[in-house]
Each structure stands twice: as structure tokens, then as C-alpha cells.
Structure 1
Amino acid sequence: MDNQVHNAIVSFIWGIADDCLRDVYVRGKYRDVILPMTVIRRLDAMLEDTKPAVLEMKEKMDAAGITNQWPALCNAAGQAFCNSSQFLLKDLTSRAKKQTLKVDFEAYLDGFSPNVQEILEKFKFRNQIDTMIDADILGAVIEKFISPTINLSLKPVYTDDTMKTIKLPALDNHGMGTVFEELIRKFNEDNNEEAGEHWTPRDVVDLMADLVVMPIADKLMDATYSCYDGACGTGGMLTVAQDRLLTLAKRRGKNVSIHLFGQELQPETYAICKADMLLKGDGEQAEHIAYGSTLSADGNASRQFDFMLANPPYGKSWKTDAEKMGGKKDILDSRFNTYLDDGTQLSMIPRTSDGQLLFLLNNVAKMKNDTSLGSRIAEVHNGSSIFTGDAGSGESNARRYLIENDLVEAIIALPENMFYNTGIGTYIWVLSNKKEDRRKGKIQLIDATSMKSPLRKNMGKKNCEFTTEIRNEIIRIFLEMEQSEISKIFNNDDFGHWAVTVERPLRLRVYPERKIPSGVLKDVEMAAFAEAINELEPTVTLDDWKAFEKATKLKISLLKKVRPYITDRDSNALPIEGEADVELRDTEIVPFTYDGGVQAFIENEVHPYAPDAYVDEKKTQIGYEISFTKYFYKVSELRPMESIIFDLERLEQETNGMLKDVLGGLK
């Protein structure tokens, strides 16, 4: 579709809000009318030619007493949806009276097939009818949408009956999807507090689609493939990935079919996604979009997919989902729990304040293992997923599971301010369960933070983009596994470490003459303690608690009560066997790559300063984290000392001159 025509349609529809809704709705609520009406008008235009056939079929089935009429009616309409009412939208414009218009419009809406009814329900569009009727704007809104100055149908509009000159070109399914996507973007941008919440910039989606498709493009067969997004929003990632797959397959002479699947929690966004699928002619695909939370009500629990893309919510609480799954501590979902080789359970459940890693684990659980291509995943996260969480935490365990199972191909750091609703740094995880031989046991990190092109005008917080050239360069670096200042290849073990608890023995010096505060001991105990102290041999060593303990012949429970009052820590005292000094306890991070492992680390890095230190092996945890700062940090070159001295001397001379001027002015 010509870009000028596309912009004209979007501008016209956008203008309906200002023309008809300005005095009735606040600006942030315009979308509640405009988006569902755009869907309705497009569906109406697609059903116009077959309306007589649908009504004729309905009349026959009514006469025959057939109750389940929708399959036959949709077949008569030639679409995955239909409308069995007596009306088209243009028939409603002659309804002068408000109440007549309301009744007829509701009958028109009721005539849509169940798949459209669900969309209208999630839009909560019927809630707007009374508002528009009371304000007497429903007729005006309908008039605008059927205006002869725009064409939302699949057929061109001609200047006259000769049908030689096109006045308004046809709007194909792809073009309609583009118009709808642009309207969503404009509403999101205009409503800044929600800007981009459900919409990932097209340039980022294009990059993600290429990351999952390009590495296996030459291996595509004449076959059916599936694509899934567990946080699908308006479905943009799915359709872009579909287009990319079809394009690459066609270039290679392959005939592929793509089935799209997704799930969305927000009602309006879910409606937009399903509507977009219908508007593009993907009636079957629309049925593959599940409603609800992917975490607590997985709509695709038994399915596996070839390609998976997602931009899950990050920094967002999933406490409600955790409660629905029985509480965080009792979640047994196999997507988020696994077992080590020794049978130990590995819980990968993160803190309830941020559930983004759960979406990645959900995708991993849906990977295909029995196909030659396996499954490929591209998912956007913020920095929390790559480094938040100590060893043994749910976040670290999730990274451990992904890396030890050799699923991570690459992580790409994106520029800041790439998204509409956040300026923070983001990262694309690229996963595969059928890595190329050269990638096995390795992870590629690409620092693309400086690879960006500025926008002429900010879109929310988005002030830069990936041009086609930048995107192609990132893909080239990825495919070639280039080693450079912005691309580095690491072994999986480079990201692992042991978190070891280093203990020091407790050393106490005894001061038996100290007074025990009242209330600490019972009278009988106090008497026994006093007697034991009086009978102590002068030779008892007071820098050895065990010797003192044995010499008193008192019960361990009594000595435990008095020890805090009669002892002080003393580095020169003898160590108490089996007791660690909690005040000297420390944790050391030992990289997997440290030569000689934990024991060598303790001998080389700890014993020179604390010869009596030892590791409590029961507390050792395995952790994984990925720090782009660590691997891509560039040290700023310091200024030469001569330059600094020169500037200081110059400033000193300037200030002396200023001081003379000031003092001179006071005389």
C-alpha cells in the first residue's frame, strides 16, 4: 500500500476522535470507541458483497430449524466470521431517532459470529453505546466510518461506473493490519502513561525475527512451522515473524505454512490481537490466541513450537499468579522447577516483584526436541535477568539451567531509549536447543548499545532506532560469530561461580571473675556457677574455652547462658573446635575458571591473610551471572599530568587578575 494512502487513512480515522468524541470523552478514552469501530467497519466492508447470500442461508436454516448455524453462515460469507443481522453499517445512518438507532445498532452487533462477539466483549464496546447515544454522537461516528473519502474494503473505489480510474485503492489484509498497528501506536504514544506497554517497536521485532529465522533459513523445508508468543500483546511479533519466515522460504523456493499461537492477559490487548488476525484474514490463527495469564493459566500447556518470540513484562509483580499457583513456596509447575543429576530439586522461581524469567522458562518448556531444527527463541528482557539474584536464588538457578543445558546462543545489549515506555537498557536473549557445532558450549555477547540511529522526533521515550543497515550488521556479527570490541565469545563456564562460605574458628578468652547480671541464672544455677569458679585450679588456661568448660564440670546448658558475659573474642586464644565465629564469616565468589578450583582459591587468596580459615562445604552454592559491564568496560584515558598542571596554572593566573581588579575597585 502506498505510504501516502496509508497515512491518509490513519489521519482520517484519528481525526474522527477529535471531530466526534472531543466533548464527550477524555483524550485517553478515545481508543475505547475508535479501535473497536475500526474493527467493525473493516469486518462490515469485508462482508458487504456476501450479505445477501448470508441472509438467504440464514432464512433456509431458520426454516429447517437448524440451531448451530455459524459454520454455514461463515461459509456463505466466505470468511472466518460473519454477521447474520439484517443490517450493514450504511443501513444504520438513516435511523434518525436515537432510540431506533440504538436498538438497530445493538441488533447489528448481536448479529456477529461468536469470534467477533468475544472481541467486542473484551473491548467492552457495548458499554460505550449508551454514552454515545446520550451525547447523540453514535450516528456521527458511524457516518464518519462509512465516509466515501476513505476505503477500508478489499475492493478499490472508482471515480465512476466505467471502473477505469481508481479513486481510492483497495486495502488488502496486510495494509489493514498496518493501519491498525499505526493507530495503536498513536494511541499508545498519545497516552504517555501507557505508551508502548503492549507494543514493541517494529525495528526491534524485525531484529528478533531475523535472529530466530536467519540461522536456519537454508534448512527450511516444504513444511508447516509454528510460532508462539506467550506475552503476545497485539500480535505484532507473531505477524512479523510469520512474514519473515514466508519471505525467506520463498527466496529459497520453499513452500511453508506458518501457524501462529499466542496468549495475552489484558482484555483490550487480547481483543486487538484477535481482531488484527481477523482483519488480516487469519481466521484460524485468531482461534489460536488464548486469553489469560501464561504463568498461572497456560493456554498452550501441551504444545511445542518451532519459533518463539516475546517481550514479557519486566519489573512487574507476578504475586497474583503465584497465589493462584498455590503460593510461591509451593509452586510445583515443571516449567519452573527441574532436577539436577543427583536428584536435587532446582527451583527457578524468582522473587514475586519480577516474573520476566518465568516467561523465558515457559518458552524453554515448549521447545521441540524431536526435529532437526529444534526450537529457536528470541526474548527481550531488562538487565535483571542477566545478573540479579545471588547464587542459589531462583534467578541464578534459572540462568544455571539455561546455560548448563547449553541453550543460550547469544545475548545482545540494545541501546537505551529503544522502547516507548522505558529508557532503561534491554537485552535480547537468543536460545536454541539444536546449536551448531561451533556454538556448542559457548555464548556470544554482542554490545550493540552504540549501534543506533537518532529519531527526528521522540516517540514516548524512544529516541533512536535500528535502521535496516544497523540490523543487518548485528545479524552479520551474530551469524559470523565475530570477535571484536563489541562481540565476544565465551565458554559457558565463564559465567559460573561457586559462592563459598569462609569460616574462621571462634576464639574466646575467659574472664571468670566477671559478674553475671541478675535474672540470667536461677538461684540454684548461680550457686553452682559460683562454687565451680571458686574451685577452679589456678593452672586452668583461660584462653581455651574447652579447657575451661571441662574444668568447671558444669552442665553445657548453664555454661551456654553465662558465656556471653564472661568471655571476649581474642585472636590469640585457642580455637573452639566445631564453632565458627559469625562475626568473621565471609563469602567468597570463586569462578569456575579459577585454576585449581575452590581449594586453590582458599590457599592462594585467603590463607595468606587468615591461615585458620576454612570452607563450610554444606553452604556452597552454584551461581551464574552475565555482566556486560565486566566484559565490555572501556577504561577512560586519563589526562596527562602536564596538561592538568598547565590548566591549574592558567586558572591561578586568571583568578589573581580578577582579585586585583576587585581590590582595585574598592580603593
Structure 2
Amino acid sequence: MDNQEYNSIVSFIWGIADDCLRDVYVRGKYRDVILPMTVIRRLDAMLEGTKKAVLTMKKQLEAAKIDNQWPALCNTAGQAFCNDSPFLLKDLTSRAKKQTLEADFKAYLDGFSPNVQEILDKFKFRDQIKTMVDADILGAVIDKFTSSDINLSPDPVYKDAEKKIVKLPGLDNHGMGTIFEELIRRFNEENNEEAGEHWTPRDVVELMADLAFYPVEDQIKDATYSCYDGACGTGGMLTVAQARLLTLAGRRGKNVSIHLFGQEVQPETYAICKADMLLKGDGEEAEHIFYGSTLSLDGNPSRQFDFMLSNPPYGKSWKTDADKMGGKSEILDTRFNAYLPGGEELKMIPRTSDGQLLFLLNNVSKMKTDTELGSRIIEVHNGSSLFTGDAGSGESNARRYMIERDLVEAIIALPDNMFYNTGIGTYIWVLSNKKEERRKGKIQLIDATNMKSSLRKNMGNKNCEFTPEIRKEIVRIFLDMEESDVSMIFDNSEFGYWNVTVERPLRLRVFPEREIPEDTFKKQSELDSVREAVANAPVGTPLDDWDAFAKATKLKKTQLKKIRPFITETDPHAKEVEGESDPNLRDSENIPFNYDGGIDAFIEKEVKPYAPDAYVDESKTKIGYEISFTKYFYKPVQLRDMKDILASLKELERESDGVMDEIVEGME
């Protein structure tokens, strides 16, 4: 089947919405009917040839009083699904009465096997039946989908009884998947605000697949591989990844297979993904798609995968997940908590307003360590994952964990406005736990923000795309580890720093004549004795030395602590108070790991020339990691030379000569 025939089918189905649903549904709701009906008709068409055999088997199973009939019925149907109702979809077109049609259609839907029932439930398709019946359009919709002008069956439709002249070619599983994806794409374009939540632009997905497979192309063997997406949406990344691996393996004469795994929290997109797998004939893969939150209800807690591609939600609260996991401070999940070599716990729980790094950590926890290939992770994030969070925070600790384990191969900055529902900057993370030798201990940063092609018409926020040529160039830069204005390579240590707390000694001057408030002590007698001790301090007791003055009064430490705020002031010329720092002079410094001489050298060179008495409280030192593209790729705007500016001003003066005179003359 060629593209023209594909487009013809898509246009026909798209036209059903305009013909039947226009006055009943708003345009954004067409998908609620068209997508599940497309699934139903395709499944129905695939079951037509075995319908009689399935019904015969059902009678036999009932006679034998076998309860779980589905395995045998699906086996008889030759599919991963079946329908044991007495109807085919085309049988319902003759049901003229609305009541009869509604009852029969519901019976028909109830006849599908449990894997299809789950899809229908997540689509909430039964909720649409009442609306269609009341509007008297259910029969029209069924008629359209079973029309002789469209063929969603894998078998061709012939013009002649001898079956020699093909009227409509058969639609194989790959072709059906292509059509279904195109319908999804069109609906997403119609409803751009939703699209970005579960649909990554195909050009970005293609680049991600390139980055997943091309670097290990020569390591692909005759084997079975696995690919996982913990935020799979409609499953587009999984299907593109599958196609890319099979293509590369085919070029090298390798016989490979790939198992797809995914998880999705949105019910409709989960249904679309699972349906897409069934429509392509991937019944086993459909069982690998799990429903629910990857964070709080991981569907693959013990599995590991060869390849992982994902576009997790960013800037989205995960507080509900945190609550399900016992509250943010109580999360013990080993995916998000690690231990340093010395045994120190490294908590990697980010703020609840943004959980995207948790999806990346989830993938890291599923990396294979006992294979030659290891695992490769390709994931899209916004800038928050690069730099949000101070040293010691969950975000910084997550970056520390991945970088110190030498998992990050590259990070690629994408152009703005690449996605449908956001114009903000996005980045592709490339991770591997089996880096090639030249990449060990290094991270490549690629600035692809200007590598784009403008769209003729915006698609929501998306106004540009990656052409195949641009994708090829980005992959080339990555594979060659090229260093240029848009590609830089750094040691892992470049992104680490110490956050140190710089203290200054507390220096106090004493003013014994100042009043100590009446309510400082509970007993008047204690207040009187304290006032007397302060007033009668021995002559010559230094007032610029709190320790000496305190000792001279012979007061208790608890008493001195209460009165000190009233009789002292900080004074830079006073002597240091032993063991105490001045909180008002406290400062912090971020010292790069690569600073020559480390923390001590930094304090000597950068701090002590301005504060000779400064020192570091080592107990408060923390390690942080952040990655700043601006730091390395920012190009300041070239300012105009002053001579050029003056010349322009003079030119403007010449051009304006006589203008005022003309205005005045015109007014006269």
C-alpha cells in the first residue's frame, strides 16, 4: 500500500467525524468516538474470517462447562484477542430501531476479550453510546466504518467474484499502525494544548532513536532486545525505536527482535498505546504496557532494559505520588535513594513541584550491568534538571549520582519552540553505563539551539523542526565527539563544586552601663545580683573582650547568655569571642572541583585578602553538581563602535535639517 492509499483511508476516517459528529460533539471531542471506533473496526475486521469457528468453539466450551474460555477462543481466532458475541460489526447496520441497535451494540462490545475491554474502559467509550443513540448517529457511524469504500481488514477487497481484480488492498499491521498514528497526530494538532502532554514531535523522537541506536550499531547481534518508556503516552517512541533497531539490524544482516515495555498514567493515552500495539499485531507487547504512575506504582520493578527512551512530564507536581509513597520525607524507594562509597546516604528526592528527574532515576535503576552492551537512556527534559537545586538538594544529588557513576555521555540543547505546548528550552540527556573508552570520565555538551528548520505553519507552540539532514548532522557531531563552537567536551569534575560556609569570628564590645530589662529573669533577686556583678566588674576589665569581661563578672553561663544581647554590640575592632562566629557575617561560596589548589587555595586567594579572619566550617561543606549551557555557549552581543554611533547621529541630523522649518511654514 502506498502513501496515497494510506492518506485516502485517513481522510475517509477523518471525514466520518465531519459527516456524523459535527452537530453532536465539539471538534475537540471527535477523538472520543473516532479513535475507539477505529480500533473496534480493525479488530472486527481481523476477526471476520474466524467468527464462525470462534462461536462453534464457544458452544463446545460451554457444553464442557469450562469457565476460562478466553485462551481457547483467542487461539481459535488466531489473535491475541477475540469476540464471542453473535455479531460482527456489519451485522449491526441492519438494526433500524434505536433501542435494538443500542442493546445489540452493547452486547457486541461486551463480547470482546478482557484485553480489549480494558482499552474500551480507558477510552470511556461506553459513555459515548448514549450520546450517539440520543442524537441518532450510532447507526450512521457504524455504517461509515463498515462501508465498502474503506478496508481496514488485512485481506484485500476484490471487484470480481473470481478475486482477480483488487478494489481495495489489504492493510497489514504496520500499515494499520501508521494510519492510527496519523489519526492521533491530526487529533493532537486539533487540540494542541493537550498534545504536548503525551505526544512528542516525530522529528524529536527520530533524533532520540538515532542517539539510542547509532552509537552501538556495530554491536548489534542476532539477539532479542528490550525497549522501555516509563512515560509512554501513545507509544510513539517505542514504535519508532522498534523500527529503527530493525532497520539497522537489517542493514547488517542481523536477525533481531525487540520487546516493548511501557507505562502510562493517563487513561485515554494508555488505551491508545495499548490499542496501537494490538492493531499492529503485537499482542504480547500490548500486555507489556502498564497503567498507573511509574513513580508510585512501578509496573516493572524487577525488569532491566537494553534501551530506554522517554519524554517525562516536566514542571508537573508529583505530590500525589509522594503522598502515596508515604510522604516526601519518608520515601525509601531504592530508585530514588542511594549510598555513597563511604556509606553516606544520598537522597535524590526533588521538590514536589517537578518530578522529571525521578523518571530519569527510574530508568537508571533499570540499566543492565551484566551485558556487553549495557543500557542506553535517551530522555528529554527542560532546563530545570540541569541546574535547579542547591548543593545537597535532591536535584543536585541526582545529578551527582549520575555523573559520579559516569553515566552521562552527552546533553544536547534543542531549539526553543520544538514542542506543541511549550516554547521553553529543552534538552536531550544521553546516558550509558558502558561508555566507549574515549568517553569515559567525560560529558559532551552540544548546542543545537540554532540547528532547525522553520515550519510553514505553526503547530501550537511548535514553529520549527529537525529535518533528516539536521538530525544527521547532530548525530555526526555526537559520534565524532567533535569540539567546535557548538560542541564541547569536559571532564565530569567540571560540573562539580563544593558549597562551603565561610565564617567570621564574633567580635563584641561591652557596654556595662546599659539597662538590663526587668523581665530578663523570673526572680528580682537574681536580676539585682546580675546587675550588680556587671556594674562592679573589676577596674581595668577590657570592654573589647567579651570572654575576659564575662569571666570577670563571675556570672553563670546561662545568666551571661541572657544579658549579652542587651549589653553588647558587634565591633570589628573588638577581640574574637572564643568558639563563636558572627551570623551576620556568614557567607557561602561555590568552589569548583577544578579550582587549582581546592578549597584552601580558594579561601587564601579569593576570601582572606578581604577578610583575613575568615575560616571554613567544614562540618557544613556540601557537594553539588550543575550544568550550565549559558556558561559555555553564551555569545555576548557585539556592541557598535562609538565612532559608528556618532556617525549615525550626524547622518540623522543632516536628514532632519529643514524639517522643522517645513513644519512651521505649514502651520502658518
Instruction: Give yes or no for TM over 0.5.
Output: yes
Aligned-pair CA distance for 1:399? 0.2
Match of 1:647 in 2: 648
Alignment of 1:571 with 2:572, yes or no, is yes
8 Å CA contact 2:198–2:233 kept in 1: the answer is yes
Q: In structure 2, how many angstroms separate the alpha carbons of the residues matched to 1:232 and 1:192?
A: 18
8 Å CA contact 1:396–1:624 kept in 2: the answer is yes
CA offsets 1:646-666 (integer angstroms, 9 cap, x no match): 123334455664444455556
The residue correspondences of 1:435-446 to structure 2 (distance < 5 A) are 435-446=435-446
Equivalent residue letter for 1:610: A
Aligned-pair CA distance for 1:456? 1.4
8 Å CA contact 1:185–1:196 kept in 2: the answer is no
Q: In structure 1, how many angstroms separate the alpha carbons of the residues matched to 2:166 and 2:659?
A: 77
Deviates further, 509-518 or 400-409: 509-518
Instruction: Give secondary structure in 1 for the equivalent of 2:519.
Output: coil
Deviates further, 40-49 or 524-533: 524-533
Q: In structure 2, how many angstroms separate the alpha carbons of the residues matched to 1:175 and 1:418?
A: 27
Q: In structure 1, how many angstroms separate the alpha carbons of the residues matched to 2:621 and 2:166?
A: 75
8 Å CA contact 1:225–1:256 kept in 2: the answer is yes
Alignment of 1:244 with 2:240, yes or no, is no
8 Å CA contact 1:496–1:592 kept in 2: the answer is yes
Alignment of 1:312 with 2:340, yes or no, is no
Instruction: Give secondary structure in 1 for the equivalent of 2:197.
Output: coil
Unaligned runs of 5+ in 1: none
How many equivalent pairs are there?
Answer: 667
Equivalent residue letter for 2:552: A
Change over 3 Å in CA distance of 1:14–1:574 after alignment to 2: same
Match of 2:159 in 1: 159
- TM-score, scaled to structure 1: 0.98
Match of 1:607 in 2: 608
Match of 2:168 in 1: 168
8 Å CA contact 2:516–2:531 kept in 1: the answer is no
Q: In structure 2, how many angstroms separate the alpha carbons of the residues matched to 1:86 and 1:439?
A: 62
Equivalent residue letter for 1:155: D
Equivalent residue letter for 1:605: E
Aligned-pair CA distance for 1:537? 2.5
Match of 2:79 in 1: 79
Q: In structure 2, how many angstroms separate the alpha carbons of the residues matched to 1:634 and 1:167?
A: 61
Q: In structure 2, how many angstroms separate the alpha carbons of the residues matched to 1:513 and 1:166?
A: 110
Change over 3 Å in CA distance of 1:579–1:212 after alignment to 2: same
Equivalent residue letter for 2:646: I
Change over 3 Å in CA distance of 1:541–1:265 after alignment to 2: same
Instruction: Give secondary structure in 1 for the equivalent of 2:346.
Output: strand
Instruction: Give secondary structure in 1 for the equivalent of 2:517.
Output: coil
Aligned-pair CA distance for 1:4? 2.2
Equivalent residue letter for 1:583: N
Q: In structure 1, how many angstroms separate the alpha carbons of the residues matched to 2:207 and 2:65?
A: 54
Match of 1:407 in 2: 407
Equivalent residue letter for 2:626: E
Aligned-pair CA distance for 1:189? 1.9
8 Å CA contact 1:418–1:463 kept in 2: the answer is yes
8 Å CA contact 1:189–1:196 kept in 2: the answer is no
CA offsets 1:435-484 (integer angstroms, 9 cap, x no match): 10000000011111111111111112111111111111111111111111
Q: In structure 2, how many angstroms separate the alpha carbons of the residues matched to 1:555 and 1:661?
A: 90
Q: In structure 2, how many angstroms separate the alpha carbons of the residues matched to 1:8 and 1:131?
A: 28
Q: In structure 1, how many angstroms separate the alpha carbons of the residues matched to 2:168 and 2:525?
A: 104
Aligned-pair CA distance for 1:345? 0.4
8 Å CA contact 2:518–2:527 kept in 1: the answer is no
Match of 1:625 in 2: 626
Instruction: Give secondary structure in 2 for the equivalent of 1:195.
Output: helix
Q: In structure 1, how many angstroms separate the alpha carbons of the residues matched to 2:646 and 2:503?
A: 49
Deviates further, 129-138 or 188-197: 188-197
8 Å CA contact 2:193–2:420 kept in 1: the answer is no
Instruction: Give secondary structure in 1 for the equivalent of 2:550.
Output: helix
8 Å CA contact 1:387–1:626 kept in 2: the answer is yes
Match of 1:546 in 2: 547
CA offsets 1:308-337 (integer angstroms, 9 cap, x no match): 111000000000111111110010000000
Equivalent residue letter for 1:650: E
Q: In structure 2, how many angstroms separate the alpha carbons of the residues matched to 1:583 and 1:647?
A: 51
Instruction: Give secondary structure in 2 for the equivalent of 1:197.
Output: helix
Aligned-pair CA distance for 1:162? 4.1
Deviates further, 125-134 or 431-440: 125-134
Q: In structure 2, how many angstroms separate the alpha carbons of the residues matched to 1:4 and 1:323?
A: 51
Match of 1:102 in 2: 102
CA offsets 1:560-602 (integer angstroms, 9 cap, x no match): 2222222222111111121111111111010000011000000
Q: In structure 2, how many angstroms separate the alpha carbons of the residues matched to 1:409 and 1:33?
A: 44
Q: In structure 2, how many angstroms separate the alpha carbons of the residues matched to 1:188 and 1:266?
A: 15
Q: In structure 2, how many angstroms separate the alpha carbons of the residues matched to 1:463 and 1:166?
A: 42
Aligned-pair CA distance for 1:515? 2.0
The residue correspondences of 1:418-433 to structure 2 (distance < 5 A) are 418-433=418-433
Aligned-pair CA distance for 1:497? 0.3
Q: In structure 2, how many angstroms separate the alpha carbons of the residues matched to 1:215 and 1:61?
A: 53
Q: In structure 1, how many angstroms separate the alpha carbons of the residues matched to 2:563 and 2:660?
A: 70
Aligned-pair CA distance for 1:422? 1.1
Match of 1:493 in 2: 493
CA offsets 1:285-322 (integer angstroms, 9 cap, x no match): 00011111111111100101111111000000000111
Match of 2:556 in 1: 555
Equivalent residue letter for 1:574: K
The residue correspondences of 1:579-598 to structure 2 (distance < 5 A) are 579-598=580-599
Q: In structure 2, how many angstroms separate the alpha carbons of the residues matched to 1:534 and 1:421?
A: 72
Aligned-pair CA distance for 1:516? 2.7
The residue correspondences of 1:401-550 to structure 2 (distance < 5 A) are 401-522=401-522, 523-550=524-551
The residue correspondences of 1:370-409 to structure 2 (distance < 5 A) are 370-409=370-409
8 Å CA contact 2:508–2:574 kept in 1: the answer is yes
Equivalent residue letter for 1:549: A
Alignment of 1:290 with 2:252, yes or no, is no
8 Å CA contact 2:513–2:535 kept in 1: the answer is no
Q: In structure 2, how many angstroms separate the alpha carbons of the residues matched to 1:10 and 1:438?
A: 48
Aligned-pair CA distance for 1:639? 1.0
Alignment of 1:70 with 2:63, yes or no, is no
CA offsets 1:146-184 (integer angstroms, 9 cap, x no match): 112222111222333343433322222112111111211
Q: In structure 1, how many angstroms separate the alpha carbons of the residues matched to 2:506 and 2:656?
A: 61
CA offsets 1:64-83 (integer angstroms, 9 cap, x no match): 22222211211111111111
Q: In structure 2, how many angstroms separate the alpha carbons of the residues matched to 1:6 and 1:578?
A: 79
Aligned-pair CA distance for 1:22? 2.0
Alignment of 1:55 with 2:55, yes or no, is yes
CA offsets 1:252-286 (integer angstroms, 9 cap, x no match): 11111111111111111111111000000000000
Equivalent residue letter for 1:551: A
CA offsets 1:10-65 (integer angstroms, 9 cap, x no match): 22212222221222222222211111111001111111111122122222222222
Q: In structure 2, how many angstroms separate the alpha carbons of the residues matched to 1:182 and 1:267?
A: 20
Deviates further, 7-16 or 278-287: 7-16
CA offsets 1:330-363 (integer angstroms, 9 cap, x no match): 1000000000111110000100000000000000
Aligned-pair CA distance for 1:192? 3.0
Q: In structure 2, how many angstroms separate the alpha carbons of the residues matched to 1:78 and 1:206?
A: 33
Instruction: Give secondary structure in 2 for the equivalent of 1:576.
Output: strand
Match of 1:277 in 2: 277
Equivalent residue letter for 1:573: A
Q: In structure 1, how many angstroms separate the alpha carbons of the residues matched to 2:406 and 2:619?
A: 27
Change over 3 Å in CA distance of 1:438–1:542 after alignment to 2: same
Q: In structure 2, how many angstroms separate the alpha carbons of the residues matched to 1:659 and 1:540?
A: 81
Match of 1:354 in 2: 354
Aligned-pair CA distance for 1:197? 1.4
Instruction: Give secondary structure in 2 for the equivalent of 1:638.
Output: coil
Equivalent residue letter for 1:109: L
Instruction: Give secondary structure in 2 for the equivalent of 1:509.
Output: strand
Instruction: Give secondary structure in 1 for the equivalent of 2:438.
Output: helix
Alignment of 1:224 with 2:231, yes or no, is no
Match of 1:326 in 2: 326
Quote the sequence identity (%): 76
Match of 2:140 in 1: 140
Q: In structure 1, how many angstroms separate the alpha carbons of the residues matched to 2:89 and 2:557?
A: 90
Equivalent residue letter for 1:619: K
Equivalent residue letter for 2:600: Q
Match of 1:14 in 2: 14
Equivalent residue letter for 1:116: V
Deviates further, 621-630 or 141-150: 141-150
Q: In structure 1, how many angstroms separate the alpha carbons of the residues matched to 2:494 and 2:352?
A: 28
Aligned-pair CA distance for 1:9? 1.8
